[in-house]
Chains A and B, each alone.
Chain A
Amino acid sequence: MDKPSVESWQPDFSLSTTTVALPSLVQPALETPWPADVLRSQPSVYSLPLGSNLAAAVSLKIAPPKLKIESYRFGMPSAWRAPAQATPAEVAASPCPPKTRTRIEPPSDVVKLEDRLFYLLQPSLEALIGDCSLSFPAHPFGYQFEGIAFLYPRYAAVLADEMGLGKTMQAITAVRLLLHAGELSTVLLVCPKPLVTNWQREFAHWAAEVPTVAIEGDRTRRRWQWEQDDVPVKIANYELLQRDRKVIAELGLHFDLVVLDEAQRIKNRSSATSQCVRSIPRRRGWALTGTPVENSPRDLVGIFEFLSPGYLHDEMKPRKMGKAAADFICRRTKDKVLTELPPKMFRDAEVELTSSQRASYELAEKEGVVRLTEMGDEATIQHVFELVLRLKQICNFDPASGESSKFERLAADINEVAASGRKALVFSQWVATLETLAARLKRARPLLYHGKIPPAKRDGILDEFRNDPKRHVMLLSYGAGGTGLNLQCSEYVFLYDRWWNPAVEDQAINRAHRIGAAGPVTVTRFLALETIEQRIDQILREKREIFDTIFTDAEPTQHTGLTQKEVFGLFQLRCPNGPIDVAA
């Protein structure tokens, strides 16, 4: 029907009139022989034309206007189907969902309206979980729902929550929901080797119906595992991935999603790990890391080369970089979102070296500096590091006498911990230091967990520490014990020596201070006064400022990049040339 011309219609309601000249009925007397009555029987007939246009009739069609309608069709979810759905009993056992509604919001890089509406029109996460199709062993926290809602629609994302907030659970749940929604069917999860079993365990816990396979074994077995297309989630470690890079290419594997755990591993773009990971064909990429920036903003650029190549670049100022990356990064800290988590308390245990330690220290420093000075421009950063490590070792134990003021303090604290039936974690960067501590703390029956412990034995050690009430101390290296472990049973953490960057220290601390922590966590940071440790501590503080500049709105107080000049400056040495990266 035509659109009615309602607005333009202006009917003319004025009546049309016609002037009619009526003939006179009074006839003049005729001169005729007929009598008058005969004349009356023959009246004259007059017609009065009224006309057809006395009133104009107008018809108005009231047709509905054509409505413009935008339509979007999303299709039915398909693809992967869970082999075993939760039974009614399991569902009934699940806690009731909270009244809050966490909605999935489309990320800013999704520009097509249809795609944006697809996410906007999804039900709340609580509704999805509460519709009785998915059971959960424990109900997620509100901020975890927000983290899941953040990951769900994103093709490039960094979940950078502080350690202990449950990045693993959030990633698993997002994967689970996307699998059920039919948006994913193949997922590759890459993590450090010691964490593979942890991820398998977490998948079994949070998404029991989702089959996973850990890529391991000999070449033939691994190839068979890569080929399994009925297992939606494959878990591989970084080193193995490099070995199987060719196999992945030969098989033409393509993943709907690649998740990198401890994604700071790819911060160095020129590393083989980074290149290998970036070469995996994928549709989506997520990076999980509590420390997206360890040393410099360039670390974040390295991670983004995997997520969205070229989006960030080295020349960007930290503030600009933070702004550009904001929509891709979800970063929460415990103090902001987990008010129910017990507090974390820091104690800086500043100790004076014993006299023999001081003598050894000063001698080593003097000789080292003299040697470096003599080397002149031949001195490299490696030479400086060697001296730093030597001095730090003396701060731990005097090689000549075996004395250690740190140990004296630690031993007293450990005795107290054991006496009160508590548990403690002690971190050092050296296996030798850990072994010395183990020997000296024998009465507390410490357990050792470091890189030289065979992987097959590690889970058993962790279980023993968690479950044996007589095991009060675990001695860990930052490298092996700093990431991925859940040791909430510990209420004390001792950093016997300090690492180069605070992020690694935070990782270590958060083995104990995480969800499930039974009580407050006390962190003791040892620091030998008037030594290289104190100078490094200053650098660590400055590094933290870099992080805060990118991830908060705080004003940067000064340039905080660690330069070669600053490293040489630890010993008041002249820097040969240019800025460099310092190993984490």
Chain B
Amino acid sequence: MTRDDPASLGFLTVLEHEQLGLVGGYLILNTAGRPLEFHCTAPVKPNRAQEILFGPTLESYLYGEQIGQALITKSDLLPLAVCTDIERVLSVRPYVSLPVALVVRDVEVSPSEAVATGAASVPGTYWRIDAAHRASDHLTQFALGTNRLAVSAGHIADRDTITASLTEVATFDLGEPFERIREAVEEAHKTNHV
């Protein structure tokens, strides 16, 4: 991986399969949104001993250190940043040198809910902030074009790096590529590659 590579952006997610376990997918796109690399893991399922020994840290260990790190390390290209749609994947950040950001998805809520949360003050857009969907307090949120991103409070410098380097793709819907990853993983699964 070198910085001489053409400008690209990484999208990292982990899919949860009821029977198989966790499957990681990592897609690198050029600035026109075309795919350059795609990597996916075989399913990972923690055993009982791991569940006991890792306790509450198991998820961040699996999503970040184990799956995320393995996928990012495997790629040839060095993207400007890595986006994820799952907060737990941010735990990969200490293990990689790339800035990592969570793409905060807006979820439409009922008007009454919006009024209750104060989101109704922004016409047409509601941000769901109930516990299940609100970005955690240890995250720092910021806007990039039409997207809303968040970085770990422990890596606050990533915000400036991303804002500076991703201006070219600010108009992209950064949540869209995760749909492609899901379809690709399903396709690979259908053909028994995953």
Q: How far is the CB of A565 from chain B (nearest CB, A)?
A: 50
Asked if residues A70 and B187 are in contact (CB atoms below 8 Å), the reply is no
A69 to B180, CA, bound (A): 18
| Chain B positions within 8 Å of A6 at CB level | 47, 49-50
Known A-B contacts A116-B187, A117-B187, A121-B27; the reply to A74 vs B35 at CB < 8 A is: yes
Asked if residues A71 and B39 are in contact (CB atoms below 8 Å), the reply is yes
Instruction: Say if the beta carbon of A30 comes within 8 Å of chain B.
Output: no
Asked if residues B53 and A62 are in contact (CB atoms below 8 Å), the reply is yes
Selected interface stretch from A123-131, A349-357, A413-421 = A123-131
Asked if residues B37 and A72 are in contact (CB atoms below 8 Å), the reply is yes
Asked if residues A121 and B180 are in contact (CB atoms below 8 Å), the reply is yes
A residues neighboring B (CB under 8 Å)? 6-7, 9, 62, 64-65, 67-77, 101, 103, 113, 116-118, 120-124, 127-128, 131-133, 181
**What is the predominant secondary structure among interface residues of chain B facing chain A?**
mixed
Q: How far is the CB of A375 from chain B (nearest CB, A)?
A: 64
Asked if residues B36 and A75 are in contact (CB atoms below 8 Å), the reply is yes
Asked if residues A69 and B70 are in contact (CB atoms below 8 Å), the reply is yes
Q: How far is the CB of B145 from chain A (nearest CB, A)?
A: 13
The residue on B at minimum CB distance from A8 is: B49
Asked if residues B65 and A76 are in contact (CB atoms below 8 Å), the reply is no
Q: How far is the CB of A479 from chain B (nearest CB, A)?
A: 45
Instruction: Say if the beta carbon of B183 comes within 8 Å of chain A.
Output: yes
A65 to B50, CA, bound (A): 11
Q: How far is the CB of B29 from chain A (nearest CB, A)?
A: 8
| Chain B positions within 8 Å of A67 at CB level | 24, 41-42, 44, 66-67, 70
Q: How far is the CB of B7 from chain A (nearest CB, A)?
A: 11
Asked if residues A118 and B65 are in contact (CB atoms below 8 Å), the reply is no
Q: How far is the CB of A82 from chain B (nearest CB, A)?
A: 13
Q: How far is the CB of B52 from chain A (nearest CB, A)?
A: 10
Asked if residues A123 and B33 are in contact (CB atoms below 8 Å), the reply is yes
A7 to B47, CA, bound (A): 8
A7 to B44, CA, bound (A): 15
Give per-residue flags for B21-50: 1 if the beta carbon is below 8 A from chain A beta carbons, else 0. 000100101101111111111101001011
Taking A113-B193, A127-B176 as given, write out 11 further A-B residue pairs in contact, using a Cβ cutoff of 8 Å, ordered by the A residue number. A62-B53, A67-B24, A67-B67, A113-B187, A113-B191, A118-B35, A120-B183, A120-B187, A122-B34, A127-B173, A128-B33
Asked if residues B42 and A69 are in contact (CB atoms below 8 Å), the reply is yes
Query: How many A-B contacts at CB < 8 Å in the complex?
Result: 101
A117 to B189, CA, bound (A): 12
Q: How far is the CB of A58 from chain B (nearest CB, A)?
A: 13
A127 to B32, CA, bound (A): 9
Most buried by B among A6, A76, A123, A181: A123
Asked if residues B39 and A68 are in contact (CB atoms below 8 Å), the reply is no
| Chain A positions within 8 Å of B173 at CB level | 127
The residue on A at minimum CB distance from B61 is: A64
Q: How far is the CB of A449 from chain B (nearest CB, A)?
A: 44
| Chain A positions within 8 Å of B53 at CB level | 62
Instruction: Say if the beta carbon of B71 comes within 8 Å of chain A.
Output: yes
Asked if residues B40 and A73 are in contact (CB atoms below 8 Å), the reply is no
B residues neighboring A (CB under 8 Å)? 6, 24, 27, 29-30, 32-42, 44, 47, 49-50, 53, 65-67, 70-71, 74-76, 171-173, 176-177, 180, 183-184, 187-188, 191, 193-194
| Chain B positions within 8 Å of A120 at CB level | 180, 183-184, 187
Asked if residues A76 and B6 are in contact (CB atoms below 8 Å), the reply is yes
The 7 A-B residue pairs with the shortest CB-CB distance in the complex, in nearest-first order: A68-B42, A121-B35, A123-B33, A6-B49, A72-B38, A67-B70, A71-B39
Known A-B contacts A62-B53, A64-B65, A113-B187; the reply to A69 vs B35 at CB < 8 A is: no
Asked if residues A117 and B67 are in contact (CB atoms below 8 Å), the reply is no
Q: How far is the CB of A114 from chain B (nearest CB, A)?
A: 9
Asked if residues A68 and B41 are in contact (CB atoms below 8 Å), the reply is yes
Asked if residues A69 and B71 are in contact (CB atoms below 8 Å), the reply is yes
Most buried by A among B35, B71, B183, B184: B35
| Chain A positions within 8 Å of B30 at CB level | 76
Asked if residues A70 and B193 are in contact (CB atoms below 8 Å), the reply is yes
| Chain A positions within 8 Å of B27 at CB level | 121
| Chain A positions within 8 Å of B191 at CB level | 113, 116
| Chain B positions within 8 Å of A75 at CB level | 36
Asked if residues A69 and B184 are in contact (CB atoms below 8 Å), the reply is no
A74 to B35, CA, bound (A): 7
| Chain B positions within 8 Å of A181 at CB level | 34
Q: How far is the CB of B72 from chain A (nearest CB, A)?
A: 11
From A65, A71, A117, A123, contact of B34 by CB (8 A): A123
From B32, B183, B188, contact of A131 by CB (8 A): B32
| Chain B positions within 8 Å of A124 at CB level | 176
Asked if residues A70 and B188 are in contact (CB atoms below 8 Å), the reply is yes
From B76, B172, B184, B188, contact of A73 by CB (8 A): B76
Asked if residues A69 and B36 are in contact (CB atoms below 8 Å), the reply is no
Asked if residues A117 and B38 are in contact (CB atoms below 8 Å), the reply is yes
The residue on B at minimum CB distance from A111 is: B191
Asked if residues B183 and A72 are in contact (CB atoms below 8 Å), the reply is no
**12 A/B residue pairs, CB under 8 Å, sorted by A:** A64-B66, A67-B41, A67-B42, A69-B74, A70-B41, A71-B37, A73-B36, A73-B76, A113-B187, A117-B35, A118-B35, A121-B27
Asked if residues B35 and A127 are in contact (CB atoms below 8 Å), the reply is no
| Chain B positions within 8 Å of A65 at CB level | 44
| Chain B positions within 8 Å of A116 at CB level | 187, 191
| Chain B positions within 8 Å of A127 at CB level | 33, 172-173, 176
Q: How far is the CB of A78 from chain B (nearest CB, A)?
A: 11
A177 to B86, CA, bound (A): 33
A6 to B45, CA, bound (A): 13
The residue on A at minimum CB distance from B77 is: A73
A74 to B74, CA, bound (A): 15
Known A-B contacts A67-B70, A113-B193, A133-B32; the reply to A73 vs B37 at CB < 8 A is: yes
| Chain A positions within 8 Å of B49 at CB level | 6-7, 9
Known A-B contacts A6-B50, A76-B36, A123-B33; the reply to A69 vs B65 at CB < 8 A is: no
